[in-house]
Amino acid sequence: MTLALVNGRILRDSGWVENQVVLIEGTRIQQIVARESKWHADTTYDLHGHTLLPGFIDVQVNGGGGVLFNDDPSVESIREIGRAHRRFGTTGFLPTLISDDLDVVSRALQAAQDAIASGVPGVLGIHIEGPFLNEARKGVHDETKLRWLNEDALGLLTSLKGGKTLVTLAPERTTPQIIRKLSDAGVIVSAGHTNGTYAEIRSALDHGLTGFTHLFNAMSQLTGREPGAVGAALDDDGSWCGIILDGHHVDPVVLKIAMRSKRQDRFMLVTDAMPTVGAPNKTFSLQGRPISVAYDNMLVDENGRLAGSDIDMAKAVRNSLEMLGVDLAQAARMASLHPAAFLGLDRELGRIEPGYRADLVLVNERVEVLDTWIGGQSAS
């Protein structure tokens, strides 16, 4: 069966195009042809002049729809989280486990593998954020769960089959050799919740580290005499930086300066979303501690510390326009192509081009989500 998407403004590699038809067969984009050319489709979907973007990819999703992954690392939790975020344009995501005991990490990995095997829409793998973190930069992570990463955990962290595994760690809480072993095994390694020096982070980059989790937050800062993790991130051309663009985690001016210091295609939007996204209840419990929305999508614990966010990817894209002054094409790529490249999936996801998976999001002029497609299947 062939589906034709017609009458829309489409973001392609070459820029914005109109009067073109996106032909989808099965799960992939078969062709993109001129409206006036000869084409056939079994079903036609009128986009009514709205904007078609590549589906958003969020590599840091702790929860959504009232569900926290840590509370119940199961296939059903992943399904509910994905369903909640799909309403806001996310067509690919990594359910994210906050620092926990290794038996919980094992359950989460199995849940991700089972979710992929059973075809849960949108799940691309798993993000294990901790417990291999530095207590000096723990944020709201439970200090009692934190530990060093040694050889004993390598088998667990490399056990996922058929999806992507992202591990956030503090490089100073392991060795460069272990980082190399993770990278060689296909694990994507990101620095976060780290108090590492520039030299320590630089060594990790040389041994396979490729990302920085929520840049500026929970990491050693750039100073006059010690560049720290932030300095290493901005100095390294090849690594990717996740940014939480809610107006609270990082001042937009700081992010604009950062984006002038490094290739712009190395910045990607993440939500760090908690269960409140897509849920009416704006309070929840995180490992026994109360978390609530203080104001304007800012989540805090009882001591006022930031505890993830209450934003979705569509909101992050809108904030990019307002806070960073980028155009919609760049903002959309920060939410799609750039995270796809970070995950090594940019030959399959993140573009509206022939051969790519038909993961798409339709938005209006206010960048509000009207519909999504995952593998060619509409949510409507």
CB-based contact 208:180 (threshold 8 Å): yes
**Residues 46, 61 share a domain:** no
- Does the pLDDT value for residue 64 go beyond 90? yes
In angstroms, how far apart are the furthest CA atoms of the chain? 64
208, pLDDT greater than 90? yes
- pLDDT tens for residues 249-291? 999 999 999 999 999 999 999 999 999 999 999 999 999 999 9
Quote the CA–CA distance of 194 and 213 in Å, as a whole number: 10
- Strand 20-25 relative to strand 28-34, pairing: antiparallel
Q: What is the mean pLDDT of residues 115-126?
A: 98
**Torsional sign, CA 33, 36, 39, 43:** positive
The verdict on residue 131 lying in a domain is yes
- Can you list the alpha helix ranges (DSSP code H) found in the chain? 75-86, 102-117, 154-157, 176-184, 198-206, 228-235, 252-259, 313-319, 328-334, 337-342
Average pLDDT, the chain: 97
Q: Do 320 and 365 share a structural domain? A: no
**Is 349 a domain residue?**
no
* Residue 363 scores a pLDDT above 90: yes
pLDDT at 295: 86
pLDDT at 327: 98
Structure tokens at 219: 């990491």
What the block records as the tokens of 19 is: 């009067």
Q: Is the per-residue pLDDT at 55 higher than 90?
A: yes
How many whole angstroms separate alpha carbon 116 and alpha carbon 68? 19
DSSP state of 349: S
In contact, 52 and 353? CB cutoff 8 Å? no
pLDDT (mean) for 178-185? 98
Same domain, 197 and 96: yes
Q: 296: buried, middle or exposed (CB in 10 Å: 19+, 13-18, 0-12)? A: exposed
Task: Clarify whether residues 302 and 322 are in a common domain.
Answer: yes
The answer to whether the beta carbons of residues 239 and 256 sit under 8 Å apart is: no
What share of residues in the chain are helix, strand, coil (percent, to 5)? 30, 30, 40
Angle between helices 176-184 and 198-206 (to 10 degrees): 30
Contact by Cβ (8 Å): 310, 274: yes
Domain presence at residue 347 = no
CATH of the domain at 374: 2.30.40.10
Residues 84 and 33 in one domain: no
Say if residue 122 is in the same domain as residue 250.
yes
Residues 264 and 373 in one domain: no
Is the model's pLDDT at 200 over the cut of 90? yes
Residues spanned by the domain of 109: 55-342
Strand ordering across the sheet containing 283-286: 283-286, 289-295, 298-300, 306-309
Q: H helices then E strands: how many in the chain?
A: 10, 24
**Residue 122 CB neighbours (<10 A):** 27
Give the per-residue pLDDT at 268: 98
Pairing of β 240-244 and β 267-270: parallel
CA pair distance 187, 145, nearest whole angstrom: 22
Question: What total number of domains does the chain contain?
Answer: 2
Q: Residue 109: inside a domain, yes or no?
A: yes
Query: How far is C-alpha 258 from the chain's CA centre?
Result: 19
**187 domain residue, yes or no:** yes
pLDDT value for 74? 98
350 inside domain: no
> Measuring CA to CA, how many Å separate 320 from each of 94, 227, 243, 257, 268?
21, 26, 10, 14, 11
According to the model, what pLDDT value does residue 62 have? 98
The answer to whether residue 82 scores a pLDDT higher than 90 is yes
Statement to judge: residues 89 and 25 lie in one domain: no
Whether residue 34 sits in one domain with residue 65: no
Q: What distance in Å separates the CA atoms of residue 365 and residue 14, rounded to the nearest whole number?
A: 20
Residue 283 lies in a domain: yes
The confidence band for 297, taking pLDDT boundaries of 50, 70 and 90, is: confident
Which are the catalytic amino acids?
272
Q: Is the pLDDT of residue 310 over 90?
A: yes
Tell me if 226 is assigned to some domain: yes
